[in-house]
Amino acid sequence: MNIHRRLRGVAYQTFYRLPHPVRRRIVRLVVPKYLVGAVTIIRDSEAPEPGRLLLLRQPPGRSWGLPAGLLKKAEAPAVGAARELSEESGVVIAPEDLVPAVPNAIVHAKGWVDTIFMGSVPASTTPLVVDGGEVLEAGWFPLDDLPRLTPNTAIVLGVYGMGPHAAHSPS
């Protein structure tokens, strides 16, 4: 057995003998911290293929993005996704009606993790309501003719085979 493996074993044994609160504090000091967000990809249930997506234009207002926001402390991701969707667009979907996307989480290099949920509503009977502050405008856009997207939105949609980065998404 080499010396490095033996030292690592001793370190783990020592660590696991520490009281749980001390172990937790050590882990929080050593492990990178991430913000966790919830994103919804909402399709128009009435639109013919390839379909339409709900997008939001937020300040500074040059590009369009998906309904999204940070989770509150101890908030379940689906609950946060439904809350952000309602707050930003006026679209109300029960958390249990949102479907976790596959993959359900995307880790971004700049230090946050997005949990992604899919849903659909009939655009013709679903009013879009924005506050004019956090969100300037909301609208439905054909998947084959999307407006200029925020970089993060283009990346997220690409993971699911949509938008300008769809060709680059993993298969």
pLDDT at position 168: 52
Please check whether residues 50 and 110 belong to one and the same domain: yes
Whether 53 has a pLDDT exceeding 80, the answer reads yes
Q: Are residues 21 and 69 in the same domain?
A: no
123 pLDDT tier (thresholds 50, 70, 90): very high
Beta-sheet strands, E only, within the chain: 35-44, 52-57, 64-65, 68-70, 99-108, 112-121, 137-142
Give me the mean pLDDT over the 64-91 stretch: 95
Higher pLDDT: 22 or 138? It is 138
CA 8/CA 2 separation, integer angstroms: 10
Q: Are residues 20 and 46 in the same domain?
A: no
Is 83 found in the same domain as 40?
yes
* Burial (CB count within 10 angstroms: exposed 0-12, middle 13-18, buried 19+), residue 16: exposed
Q: Does the pLDDT of residue 169 top 70, yes or no?
A: no
The pLDDT confidence band at residue 126, using thresholds 50, 70 and 90, is very high
For the cut 50, the answer to whether the pLDDT of residue 128 exceeds it is: yes
64 & 142 share domain: yes
**pLDDT at 79 > cutoff 70:** yes
CATH of the domain at 103: 3.90.79.10
39: pLDDT strictly greater than 60: yes
pLDDT averaged over the chain? 88
Print the domain residue range for 18.
1-31
Distances (CA, A) of 106 to 32, 35, 97, 112: 16, 12, 21, 9
